[in-house]
Each structure stands twice: as structure tokens, then as C-alpha cells.
Amino acid sequence: MPKFEATRRVSHSPDQMFALVADVEQYPQFLPLCEALSVRSRRERDGRTVLIADMSIGYKAIRETFTTQVLLKPDEHIIDVKYIDGPFKYLSNIWGFEPASDGCFVRFFIDYEFKSRILGVMMGTMFDRAFRMFSEAFEKRADVIYGRNPPA
């Protein structure tokens, strides 16, 4: 039921932004609410990578861990995340990176619902706020990793 969608223009290339978002193990270093992330498995298939990952999120005294399948499609500059297990009824997340004259457009979409109505009420507002900060967090991380100059 809750959905969030954002498009942000950044001064980094689609390849750079794809690589940054695909590097899921680094999320706890800079992503709001993300306390830990571990990759259970990684396999290559037809030029694509499929990850199974556990992400632990926290806010105040609440801690939850959920498992997703992350499909990396570098040829399309798309990252498709599907929910496997955890506190959600469902979760779908898609990242897209489209070329722009001075960088790229980062498209972020997430659609989710908690299994527990109580958890949904407790975490819902914070999740909404965190998702609004995600694009900015990734852009700041890209500036740190790649510098602030637009791609050549």
C-alpha cells in the first residue's frame, strides 16, 4: 500500500550510479535505517547477477531483518529487488539509471506493506522519511566515491 517514487538528476554516469547501488554490502555505512546487510548468495546468470541478501533495519528500539532477491541488470542499468521473507506482506523496489547530458537520472520506486498493522504504524512514517532521504544519501555517497565533477 505505501509507495514512494522519486527521480533525481545527479552528476554521475549511469554506470557509476548502478555500481554504487549494486554494492549493497556498503549500505550500512551511509543509508538511513540500515544497520547491517549481508549477502547470503551471489550467482551470475546471462550477464546478470542475482543476490540473496539480508538487510537489518532499525529505528529507536525497533529492529527488523528481511531477505530480498536483488537482480542486477547492468546492460539495462536496472536493479530489481523482490521480497523473500521478513516483516513485510510484500515489497518491490526498482532502481533505474538513465543517461543525461551531464550525468544521469536516478529513478527509485518502492512499494511495500508490513504484515503487522502495528509495525506499519510505528515504522511507516520513519520509512517514508527514510525513502525521501535515500536518493540524497546515494548522491552524497557517489560524490565521496567518484568526486563532485560531472562525468567526462
Cell output for 7: 527521480
Are the beta carbons of 4 and 132 closer than 8 angstroms?
A: yes
Extents of the domains making up the chain: 3-146
Cell output for 10: 545527479
Tell me which CATH code domain 3-146 carries: 3.30.530.20
- pLDDT in tens for each of the 152 residues of the chain? 678 898 999 999 999 999 999 999 999 999 988 999 999 999 998 889 999 999 998 877 878 899 999 999 999 999 999 999 999 999 999 999 999 999 999 999 999 888 888 777 766 667 777 777 887 899 999 999 998 765 55
By CB atoms closer than 10 A (0-12, 13-18, 19+), residue 122 is: middle
d(CA 12, CA 140): 11
Give the Å distances, CA to CA, from 88 to 29, 43, 76, 116, 139.
24, 25, 28, 8, 27
Residues β-bridged to residue 6: 108
